[in-house]
Structure 1
Amino acid sequence: MTQVTIIHNPRCSKSRQTLALLEEQGCNITVVEYLKQPLSNLEISDILKKLAISPRELMRTKEDEYKQLGLAAVEDDSLLIQAMVDTPKLLERPIVLANDKAAIGRPPENVLSIL
């Protein structure tokens, strides 16, 4: 049975669909509700390495907070990561971690490649 962690928002339909897909696959799932348990700078940095993407690619750039914080003009990756730590709503979801890899569940089937 594959051990997986899902960075989850239960109010998000894609996140719920991804969780259901993992359950269908018979995975042993740890659910992290990141709005209640914000990720640390180190955890986000680790996810970025596993995804091989930039911090901005992991951000929800259409959120009001992104615009209010003026993040479109920020070039420093460490500041973008800190913004996701300070404002978890900016983090794209769901993120699934398994087998020392990561995948974003948009669409949910994306996560099957790391199981």
Structure 2
Amino acid sequence: MSNTSVLADVANSLRSYSSQLGSVNQQLAHLENQEKIAQLTSKEIGSYPTDHVWRSCGRSFILQDKSKYIADLEHDEGIIKDQKKNLTIKQNYLQTSVDKAKDTLKTLVEKGNQ
């Protein structure tokens, strides 16, 4: 395999890993926003003096027990935390892959210039 084709393969890998890393970063930001919304909603609903609240259901609303709604929000937060944990693992893997590809690319370019 020629040095040029190895260089092209490493560059393609770097682009692929960088693209995937950007996507994972966006997904993590989206999950963090969802988690904050769930936490704030749970806190706000918990402060209401009533036992029942109106919950949005598409274009309509349903009357629901406040404790059930808060339990649903806490369940959603748990799912979001699991998803964030998995994405963080993937993010670390991709970041390591990007760093290694950059180092390899740098080494190949330096060898080519000698």
- Structure with bigger helix share is 2
If asked which structure has higher relative contact order (CA below 8 Å, sep 6+), I would say: 2
TM-score grouping bracket, smaller chain normalisation: under 0.3
- Structure with bigger strand share is 1
TM-score by length of 2: 0.22
